[in-house]
Structure 1
Amino acid sequence: MKILIAEYAGFCFGVKRAIETAYQEIEKNKKGKIYTLGEIIHNPLVIDDLFKKGVKVIEEKDLEKLSKGDKLIIRTHGVSKKLYDFLTEREVEIIDVTCPFVKKVQNIVYEYYNKGYSIIIVGDKNHPEVIGVNGWCDNTAYVLNSIEEAKKMPQLKKACAVAQTTLIEKHWEKILEVINTKVEDLIFFNTICDATQKRQSAAEELAKKVEVMLVIGGKHSSNTQKLKKICERNCKNTFHIEAPKELTLDMIKEHEIIGVTAGASTPDYVIEDVLKRIKILKGEDKNE
């Protein structure tokens, strides 16, 4: 049996920084209240561990409950400008771990919106990153996630287009082609995260070489879901698992070359536990 692991699998820089910051705050703030605005990452194993250590998840509709001195961790997805202003007024201590790539998108949108450009965001309108970015242009952006949606967009004189950072490159390119026919003066920025592109490319190449592909990551993780789609196109035996216990012998018993990749919200220890489970299920102690 061979187990091949895709390059760039697991925590990306932004997620790693966010998780490290959360644990640092736990150490510094033994008795104070620490909250994260929504789940800090889409991984239930990490969320459960943080909760056990006193970090509570709070949703935007409940932010009125926060008081002066409470600590709120802004997750990697980022938030709207309006929300920053609201928290500052309430004197909540903001611990901002917005991913630098997402922050770049926010800054572009804010700059060009204030220059009079219409804003176009290519991505999922329900994804927290996109919701937050839209908040930097007063929620006026055209949010498009398909060629059909792009075709329905009205003709615009001048616009600035950006991409959700976890978007699949080809998806962005196809929609951008349509947008280009809809805007007289178009400025666009490919804001897909470099780490995302590398992760997707590595997963795609590996999926072509293996008999079965395991994609590890949260079921609600956007970048993990996209990895699954990419792998499925290149390996029909692709399985998305969130935790090692979800891996069954039926998934791998007929296969000797097994590929593994993982989303940006997947800790190294989860990947290691999946590798151990593969070996146990196959009755092997080490890779050949």
Structure 2
Amino acid sequence: MKTFEVPVIYRSPLISAIKNKRKEQDRMKKDFTPTVLDLGAVRILLARHFGFCYGVENAIEIAFRTIEENPDKRIFLLSEMIHNPHVNNDLLSRGVQFLMDTSGRQLIPWEQLKAADVVIIPAFGTTLEIEAKLTSLGIIPLQYNTTCPFVERVWNKAGQIGQKDYTVIVHGKPGHEETRATFSHSQAGTPTVVVKDISEARLLADFITGTQPASLFYERFKGQYSTGFDVVQHLQRVGVVNQTTMLATETQAIADYIRDVMQQHYQLTPATIHERFADTRDTLCYATNDNQSAVTGMLQQPADLAIVVGGYNSSNTSHLVELCEARLPTYFISSEEKILSRAAILHYDFHHKQELQSNTFLPEQGPVSILLTSGASCPDALVEGVIRKIARFYNAEEKLEAAI
């Protein structure tokens, strides 16, 4: 796989050494057991896969190269390039300005842009409508494009099944930049509807089977269906694609459920199901799958608590938190700075969108075992920072160096 030029400030000699060693031992990526850093009074179990994915490294390389190549131009990002505050703040410190926030609210009016300005498309991609707006301003919309190739693969799959007269069902968060972009590209070629979870998939199934009156669809899915959507006509042939950072098991569960509904409703067999349902399972992102599988493998080990490092608005990171918190106390932090002391930690409750302080973070009596992972947009340097800070609490710095 291609390697990228990522600023050294994001790299970690410790994490790179661990990842390279695991890659040598498990080139087929079939071993999802964690790496154990045994520091005596504290054991840190590091997930097999975590941190920057292909799409994130690609975006960072393009963005920083764009800044270097355009020293005399104004440089804008449509919105956050990735969902990590440290990376985005680095870009801001280099003079980059954000045109919109992550919800799509305009921060800088379009009218202030000039044809000579540079506009970077973030890793999530963007809508066809925004591409058209940039073109109208004299800006080439895709000249500085960091859209993840795996996001584009979802768009391509949606286009392929749309050409075969299937309606596209997008499993994603309706307000997320990637879902907005996927919805835009999909609806340009075929009727499209967004479902955010399995509950909405079940509700959609009621409209597929006619259990719910068709007229209620437009209220229940307001803002989540394409223009001209005909609930009776357009739910007869469907396929499911996803926002690449969703929980992979949920996307598969939604696809399997909709397939079963179509098979039963239209009395099809496994051999004829393709008449009503398109197989789109290959739209799941490899990094999303690997990171979530690594957390599942990590959770097989006994531990006292879990720490997940990443941006608080990162979808893929929040799903890692979900997996961990179902099994044991879990702390979602953006960096080692959130660890205030051995007892106190600031951590994010993404369910209620608030940061909390806990004062019973690490057990008073050792030994303690900690599961540790990070999101796909989190620099490895931040993970190393967490490891070193915890090691200091147990006077285990020398043992950490020995382990390295």
Q: TM-score, normalised by structure 2?
A: 0.67
Is the counterpart of residue 97 in structure 1 residue 146 in structure 2? yes
Does 1:32 find its partner at 2:52? no
Give the equivalent residue in structure 2 for 1:150. 201
In the TM superposition, 1:1-288 aligns within 5 A as 1-59=42-100, 61=106, 62-93=109-140, 94-138=143-187, 140-153=191-204, 154-155=207-208, 156-183=235-262, 185-190=276-281, 191-209=283-301, 210-234=303-327, 236-247=328-339, 248-250=341-343, 251-254=361-364, 256-285=368-397, 286-287=399-400
- Give 1:265 shift: 0.9
Q: 1:41 aligns to what SS in structure 2?
A: coil
Code of the aligned partner of 2:245 = T
Q: Is the 8 A contact 1:249 1:282 kept in 2?
A: no
Name whichever of 250-259 and 12-21 sits farther off. Answer: 250-259
Deviations 1:196-234 (A, max 9, x none): 111111112113313221100011100000000111223
* Aligned residues between the structures: 287
Larger-Rg structure? 2
Identify if the C-alpha distance between structure 1 residues 103 and 171 changes in structure 2 by more than 3 Å, giving closer, same or farther. Answer: same
Does the aligned pair in 1 maintain the 2:49–2:290 contact within 8 Å? yes
In structure 1, distance between residues paired with 2:111 and 2:390:
47
Which deviates more, 253-262 or 13-22?
253-262
Is the CA contact (8 Å cut-off) linking 1:214 and 1:260 kept in structure 2?
A: yes
* Worse-matched range after superposition: 108-117 or 77-86: 108-117
| Corresponding residue SS for 1:215 | strand
- Distance in 2 of aligned mates of 1:115 and 1:175: 21
**Bigger share in strand:** 1
Distance 1:112 1:174 in 2: 20
Supply the distance in 2 between the matched residues of 1:273 and 1:233 (Cα, whole angstroms): 26
Alpha-carbon distance, 1:181 to partner? 4.3
Counterpart of 1:172, as a letter, is: T
Q: CA RMSD in A?
A: 1.9
How many angstroms apart in 2 are the aligned matches of 1:135 and 1:65?
25
Alignment partner of 1:68: what SS?
A: coil
Superposed CA deviations along residues 158-196 of structure 1, whole A, max 9, x for unmatched, are 122112211222211222233124545010312120111
Unmatched tracts of structure 1, length 5 or more: none
The aligned amino acid for 1:82 is: E
| DSSP 3-state at the match of 2:157 | helix
- TM-score under structure 1 normalisation? 0.92
**Alpha-carbon distance, 1:120 to partner:** 0.5
More helix by share: 1
For the residue of structure 2 that corresponds to 1:125, the secondary structure is coil
Distance 1:108 1:123 in 2: 15
Between 25-34 and 80-89, the greater mean CA deviation after superposition: 80-89
Decide whether the 8 Å contact of 1:122 with 1:144 is kept in 2.
yes
Aligned letter for 1:243?
S
Per mean C-alpha deviation after superposition, the further-off stretch among 86-95 and 159-168 is 86-95
Is the CA contact (8 Å cut-off) linking 2:166 and 2:278 kept in structure 1?
no
CA offset digits 1:227-254 (Å, max 9, x no partner)? 00111223x1211101211124122244
The answer to whether the 8 Å contact 1:36/1:74 transfers is yes
Which amino acid is the alignment partner of residue 256 of structure 1?
A: V
Which stretch shifts more, 176-185 or 23-32? 176-185
SS at match of 2:123: coil
Percent identity, aligned pairs only, is 31
